[in-house]
Amino acid sequence: MSGALSGVKIADFTRVLAGPYATMLLADLGAEVTKVERPGTGDETRDWKPPVDSQGRSTYFLGVNRNKSGLALDLSIAADQARARELILASDVVIENFGANGMAKFGLDYKSLKNLKPELIYCSITGFGSSEIAAQLPGYDMLVQAMSGLMHVTGTESGDPTKAGVAVIDVIAGLHACTGILAALRARDEQGIGQLVEIDLFSSALSALTNQSSAYVAGGIDPKRLGNHHPSIVPYGVFTASDRSIAIAIGNDRQFAKFAELVEIQEPNYKENSNRVEHRDSLIKLINEKLQSKTAGEWIELFRKNQIPAGPINSIAEAFNFAETIGLKPIVDIAGSKSVANPIKLSATPAEYRKAPPTL
């Protein structure tokens, strides 16, 4: 069978991460994506190196640009603007991240195009939205992690605020862009009309804070950093065995009862989760003391046999090796270009890997 999105044409005017990640996922599912880049330099991530692959190409760029065709256009030139407009009008979806009103100066914004093609779906990704104030703010993942509160709740209680180890807000915004585009395609198929899909990194971050943002919105609580531990569940974090640290994620009282039996904790104050949260510090200290009797590997084996959620803190290399051992097949190779497999598994129309990332 053809891909789930076979026949859908996407004009991709995005660069760096959020947009390219979204369009790569859509391309994996069958969409025909044309990536438009600036002549000479192209997507900034082409030059974000090291690390590089065996051919000297930026692994950052390779990681989010497979299954796309490439087209270099200088949008400051009228002839290339006309070519871009022709590409857009032949497409079902256009996606761009030129910033608030960034495409308007080329006559390629939604307002300029919707009358020419009412069924067009136009996805715009910005850092902070489209208001006059928001348009002045540079939309970089690091800034959004800082300004959204994510860094405020990440890191140790007594240490500095810490960013996540990957540009997670860009990735989340890319996923939101995918969702918005798919919803708009569904609406177009049902109603015959296109629409503007607006995604901003800051709103994506606030939404992705989930329980932490809800604590403020619904509970009036401004959450603080707790290191590797959870504000509402204990024990749920990183603990130290005799040789190294392990992750333990107890999700309910039944699991804790079995866990307590295995590590020989008998304190009745810890029976219910609300009590464990109240006595967080003493319980964490006690667990770390109890875990000194065995190695991390020994504890993990014992916990798994008893359906206790626990595991090692892997390096990325170890994580990929583990994925292989459990049959996930996490790496794909397209003409010598390796990348991470699409995590969406469809039984009838699975993801396809047709093209290596385009040259400029």
CATH number for the domain spanning 263: value is 3.30.1540.10
Side-chain-side CA neighbours of residue 126 (13 Å) = 19
Question: CA–CA separation, 68 vs 86, rounded Å?
Answer: 18
Q: The domain that contains 94 carries what CATH number? A: 3.40.50.10540
Query: Residue 196's beta-bridge partner residues?
Result: 122
Whether 161 and 242 share a structural domain: no
Q: What residue numbers bound the domain in which 290 lies?
A: 236-317
Whether 204 and 246 share a structural domain: no
pLDDT of residue 285: 95
DSSP reduced 3-state for 142 = helix
Residues 115-161 pLDDT 10s: 999 999 999 999 999 888 988 888 899 999 999 999 999 999 889 99
Residues 210-252 pLDDT 10s: 999 999 999 999 999 999 999 999 999 999 999 999 999 999 9
Whether residue 95 has pLDDT greater than 80:
yes
Whether 21 and 72 share a structural domain: yes
Whether 195 and 240 share a structural domain: no
Residue position matching structure tokens 């359906």: 307
DSSP reduced 3-state for 237 = strand
Task: State what percent of residues in the chain have pLDDT above 70.
Answer: 100
Asked, for residue 310, whether it belongs to a domain, the answer is: yes
Whether 164 and 247 share a structural domain: no
Asked, for residue 242, whether it belongs to a domain, the answer is: yes
pLDDT of residue 257: 94
On the 0-12 / 13-18 / 19+ scale of CB atoms within 10 A, 295 is middle
What Å distances lie between residue 270 and 84, 129, 147, 254, 286, CA to CA? Answer: 63, 46, 36, 12, 11
Whether 151 and 292 share a structural domain: no
Mean pLDDT, range 316-338, rounded to an integer: 95
Whether 266 and 159 share a structural domain: no
Claim: this prediction has a pTM higher than 0.95? no
Q: Among residues 170, 189, 200, 333, which one is catalytic? A: 170
Whether 154 and 270 share a structural domain: no
Average confidence score pLDDT of the chain: 95
Whether 177 and 265 share a structural domain: no
User: In this predicted structure, which of 26-40, 127-141, 296-310 has the lowest mean pLDDT?
Assistant: 127-141
Asked, for residue 182, whether it belongs to a domain, the answer is: yes
Task: Judge whether 281 counts as a catalytic residue.
Answer: no
Instruction: Compute CA 51 distance to the chain's CA centroid, rounded to the nearest angstrom.
Output: 20
Question: CA–CA separation, 24 vs 62, rounded Å?
Answer: 11
Mean pLDDT, range 264-279, rounded to an integer: 91
On the 0-12 / 13-18 / 19+ scale of CB atoms within 10 A, 50 is exposed
Whether residue 1 has pLDDT greater than 70:
no
Q: Could you give the dihedral angle defined by the CA atoms of residues 59, 65, 68 and 70, in that order, rounded to the nearest 10 degrees?
A: -70
Whether 72 and 99 share a structural domain: yes
Question: CA–CA separation, 136 vs 143, rounded Å?
Answer: 13
pLDDT of residue 100: 80
Whether 179 and 265 share a structural domain: no
Domain count, the chain: 2
Q: Number of H helices and number of E strands within the chain?
A: 13, 11
Asked, for residue 203, whether it belongs to a domain, the answer is: yes
Asked, for residue 1, whether it belongs to a domain, the answer is: no
